[in-house]
Amino acid sequence: MYDWDDKPELNITPLVDVMLVLLAILMVISPNIIYEELINLPKGSAQTEVKEKKKIEILINDAKEIKVNNQTFDYLTFSDNFRLFANDFSPETVVRISADHKLDYGDVMNVMSAVKRSGLTNISLATSG
């Protein structure tokens, strides 16, 4: 006979087994799902070529000799001479200044301000390391 005092027990082991199988299936399938959106891309020309931007390399050694794209300038007359040199370049031209670490900060800043006064605004300082 049935004992009415016994309480029923819920066995969740089969439920956990089914959920683990579904999780395993999801983990195996999810990397293979490809999401794709249809986008109408603009037409391009195969003849379009990228212009290489001009750049100016300024090297200053510990004797205050300034070389600009392999042309040597005197430190004392650099401001005037560089202004004439910079007329051939657009204001967006990249200027990279590399100075010896023994130089005074003020000397490098004088060169940088001369470059700015010549109308070039894209100036960067090179470092080692």
Chain segment 38-79, per-residue pLDDT in tens: 767 667 666 656 666 788 999 998 888 999 998 899 989 999
**Residue at 50 is within a domain:** no
Task: Give the number of residues written for the chain.
Answer: 129
Domain hosting residue 89, numbered range: 55-125
Residue 1 pLDDT: 62
**Residue at 75 is within a domain:** yes
CATH of the domain at 97: 3.30.420.270
| Mean pLDDT of all residues in 96-101 | 90
Q: Count CB neighbours of 61 within 10 A.
A: 13
**Residue at 118 is within a domain:** yes
DSSP state of 125: E
- What is the band of 115 on the pLDDT scale with cuts at 50, 70, 90? very high
**Residue at 38 is within a domain:** no
Average pLDDT, the chain: 85
- Quote the CA–CA distance of 91 and 119 in Å, as a whole number: 6
Q: What is the number of domains present in the chain?
A: 1
**Residue at 12 is within a domain:** no
Residue 95 pLDDT: 93
**Residue at 105 is within a domain:** yes
**Residue at 16 is within a domain:** no
Residue 16 pLDDT: 94
Alpha-carbon distances, residue 113 vs 46, 58, 72, 119, 123 (angstroms): 42, 13, 18, 10, 10
| Mean pLDDT of all residues in 19-35 | 89
pLDDT of 19 > 60? The answer is: yes
**Residue at 108 is within a domain:** yes
pLDDT of 105 > 70? The answer is: yes
| Mean pLDDT of all residues in 104-128 | 90
Residue 21 pLDDT: 97
